[in-house]
Structure 1
Amino acid sequence: MKESRKNHIRPIVLSGLLAMAVLIFAVGGWAVLYKNNLPAPVKQDLAPVAANSGQLQTKPGSSWNAGVYSPNRLSQAAGKVMAPRMVITPAKAAVKAEAAVSKNNAQNHLPAPNKHKTVYLTFDDGPSKITSKVLEILRQQGVKATFFVLGEQARQRPELINAIWEQGHSIGNHTYNHNYHDLYSGFTEFWSQIKQTEEIVRNITGVRPQLIRAPGGTFGHFDQTYFHLLKQAGYSVMDWTVDSGDSRRKGVPAADILKESVADMNASRVILLLHDGGGHEQSAKALPEIIQRYKSAGYAFGVLDAEMQPVQFRVSDAAAKASRNGPSRDWIAANIAPNRELFTSGKALALEVGLLETKLLPGEYSISEGQYRVPLRAVVERLGGRVNWDSASRTGKVVWNGRAIIADAARKQLTITGADGRQQVRSADVQMIGSSLWVSLRGLLEAAGHAPLTTAVTIDERRVKTL
């Protein structure tokens, strides 16, 4: 019975062992098949990471430049390799930033101005709507210029004349209406237009322009009478050395204006003729590049004044022989000599206040009853103070040398507030001339605490100095 049971169990065990063997074989084969059918691992085209580098580097010769990017990976959606994403490393960003700075410096790191090379930008026929654009360009570029204005235009746009003056540019006289027939038929006609424009500018700025530029230039227009009498009357006639060509025809393109303006960059002194009258938009367009070219060539920028040696064209044969109505001796005696006195015998007034010094040119100040009278804003701001115009009270509010001063032309007084808050009121010679406040120089300096004074007059200048 027992033997029979053993014989019965043995086949069952053998069958079980055989089934287990089959199962193990099947599982192993499936695993091998699964392994052999897995996707091959993605090969990273990466060199070993340098110690402590914190970034991956591409192999030499790789199509990517050195940089960090995300490793290739399987797309879960499509099972495709995604393209690597380029990210600039801090080191590379620094290189790019340095390159940008170098490029910027290359544009702005211009040679220092050569004191022996100066360019004088001059603008004729304004002011017009273009003048505002020109003034903005000059402000952005940090340069000054000289504007030869027409009285007819100045009368229509006094705010632009005031802006030219307030921004530190020089103003010259370009006659009233630019009419050649009127101006060159005889000297008295020319004189009449000069005086008409002079009064318009004086009423706006308080200053008489001493510089004159003849419309069309002096060549072919002036004879010796024009030159001689204008000089005797205290004026300085100024032509130019370089013509930008912007008025040779209507609509001269900016590229042509630029080319003519910078044709000769070797001269030590350049007086460049440009125009800011109506229709000269292209001149304003060319102006920034003109300025940059002269800066790159090492030129300093200056403004013309009557103390300079004038540049004048010669008298042409035709002008010398032209038949004109000349002024009489009585007319000359009544007009020329007295006019010169308006410019205080041609002497500049030097002001030396503490460590600062400035100079007022003839026409920028006057002498009345032995006292110097000066434009308030021009003097205070040149000597380190600040002036604000109060249109409501029509007074000038000055902050200078630790004091606040109110200049009141209506009451003829200065109200002074010291650093301690104490206030005092003084009678003073304060006048409105045009749109400018003028004051007694002595009264202004004393109000600001700059007295006592010493004064001197030499053959070259007048000088006022505070001790």
Structure 2
Amino acid sequence: MNRRLALRYSLALILLSPAVWGAESTGTPPPSPTCRGTLYLTLDTGSMQAADTIATILRRHQVKATFFVANEPTWRGDHALDDSWRDFWRARVQEGHHFGNHTWFHATLVKDLSSGDILTRGGDHAPREFDKAGFCQNLQRVNERFKTLTGRPLEPIWRAPGGHLTPNATSWAGDCGFPQHEGWSPAGFLGDELPSEKYPNPRLLNQALTHLKDGDILMMHLGIRSRHDPFVRVFEPLITGLQARGFCFATLPKASQ
């Protein structure tokens, strides 16, 4: 090899080096520095059956999400905040995801009663009433347990199960340490909890890829027992399709808030 060719060869090696472009030696390219829009992917606990698959896809495509955590029963017969899920949550913290509060009991807030309490139904318990102290405990218990598992507190954001709010819940949550409620955008309802017979995966995927726009908050679960054809089967095409449209992903709360 003559001197000129050797110089060109050395220059090519330098330019192709991962260190020059900020990529790891795995060959995975760094994220695009420019975005045509930003989306906020949120993941509620659910049955956790798809949790590991979703985490792998997020890691593969360098997507950061916001997890809304409740102590829900899982497909393994335990609960999402049991010690058996410690490694899962610790790994997600280390990957740089964010975490919000989805309440301990995951019970739907039905209405404010004349007594001033909140009526709830569902979750692990029969219908029950919460006064302010009980409501705060329902939120703070998640935060304390998550800190025990991971060493990290939740962000000061929460999501009521099903997105159902009452005036008292909205007022009390701020006093309980979670002032910001995060719902989701109309187009961001990905439909993973709907019956797959009426809402098949290709339909839901096409709907999301067609209608999502800059600033939308997306919502799905880490597993839904009742859906016959799990939505996770089209989760990776969803992520790659949105990235192909020029979208980047960010965590909640939004930086402007």
Give 1:238 shift.
Answer: 0.6
C-alpha offsets along residues 225-282 of structure 1, whole Å, 9 cap, x if unaligned? 22222224432211111100111336753223313322314x3201101111343672
Tell me whether 1:253 sits opposite 2:203 in the alignment. Answer: no
Which residue of structure 1 aligns with residue 236 of structure 2? Answer: 288
Which residue of structure 1 aligns with residue 216 of structure 2? Answer: 270
Q: In the alignment, which of 224, 241, 254 is matched to residue 167 of structure 2?
A: 224
Q: 1:307 to 1:194 in 2, by over 3 A?
A: farther
Q: In the alignment, which of 39, 50, 75 is matched to residue 130 of structure 1?
A: 50
Contact 1:117 1:298 in 2 (8 A): yes
CA RMSD of aligned residues (A): 2.9
Give 1:305 shift.
Answer: 2.7
Tell me whether 1:194 sits opposite 2:142 in the alignment. Answer: no
Give 1:203 shift.
Answer: 0.2
Q: 1:269 aligns to what SS in structure 2?
A: coil
Tell me whether 1:170 sits opposite 2:84 in the alignment. Answer: no
Q: 1:182 to 1:207 in 2, by over 3 A?
A: farther
Q: 1:200 to 1:256 in 2, by over 3 A?
A: farther
Which residue of structure 1 aligns with residue 18 of structure 2? Answer: none
Q: 1:165 aligns to what SS in structure 2?
A: helix
The residue identity in structure 1 corresponding to 2:218 is: L
The residue identity in structure 1 corresponding to 2:146 is: V
Give 1:224 shift.
Answer: 2.5
Q: How many residues align?
A: 197
- RCO (CA 8 Å, sep 6+): is it higher in 1 or 2? 2
Contact 2:159 2:182 in 1 (8 A): yes
Contact 2:193 2:224 in 1 (8 A): no
The residue identity in structure 2 corresponding to 1:300 is: C
What residue ranges of structure 2 are gaps of 5+ in the alignment?
1-27, 72-78, 109-119, 123-127
The structure number with the bigger radius of gyration is 1
Contact 1:128 1:157 in 2 (8 A): no
Give 1:294 shift.
Answer: 1.3
In structure 2, what is the Cα distance between the partners aligned to 1:141 and 1:173?
A: 25
More strand by share: 1
The residue identity in structure 1 corresponding to 2:202 is: A
Q: 2:184 aligns to what SS in structure 1?
A: coil
C-alpha offsets along residues 23-42 of structure 1, whole Å, 9 cap, x if unaligned? xxxxxxxxxxxxxxxxxxxx
Q: 2:138 aligns to what SS in structure 1?
A: helix
Which residue of structure 2 aligns with residue 211 of structure 1? Answer: 157
Q: 1:258 aligns to what SS in structure 2?
A: helix
Tell me whether 1:142 sits opposite 2:62 in the alignment. Answer: yes
In structure 1, what is the Cα distance between the partners aligned to 2:247 and 2:136?
A: 35
In structure 2, what is the Cα distance between the partners aligned to 1:117 and 1:134?
A: 22
Q: Kindly report structure 1 stretches of 4+ aligned residues shifted beyond 4 Å.
A: 111-116, 182-185
What residue ranges of structure 1 are gaps of 5+ in the alignment?
1-107, 310-467
TM-score with structure 1 setting the length: 0.38
Tell me whether 1:237 sits opposite 2:181 in the alignment. Answer: yes
In structure 2, what is the Cα distance between the partners aligned to 1:268 and 1:306?
A: 13
Contact 1:253 1:282 in 2 (8 A): no
C-alpha offsets along residues 98-140 of structure 1, whole Å, 9 cap, x if unaligned? xxxxxxxxxx99x956546101111112472411110101111
The residue identity in structure 1 corresponding to 2:162 is: G
In structure 1, what is the Cα distance between the partners aligned to 2:98 and 2:232?
A: 18
The residue identity in structure 1 corresponding to 2:182 is: M
In structure 1, what is the Cα distance between the partners aligned to 2:206 and 2:223?
A: 20
C-alpha offsets along residues 182-211 of structure 1, whole Å, 9 cap, x if unaligned? 488445344322112111101011122122
In structure 2, what is the Cα distance between the partners aligned to 1:263 and 1:185?
A: 42
- What does 1:364-443 correspond to in 2, within 5 Å? none
Which residue of structure 2 aligns with residue 153 of structure 1? Answer: 80
* % identical aligned pairs: 26
TM-score with structure 2 setting the length: 0.67
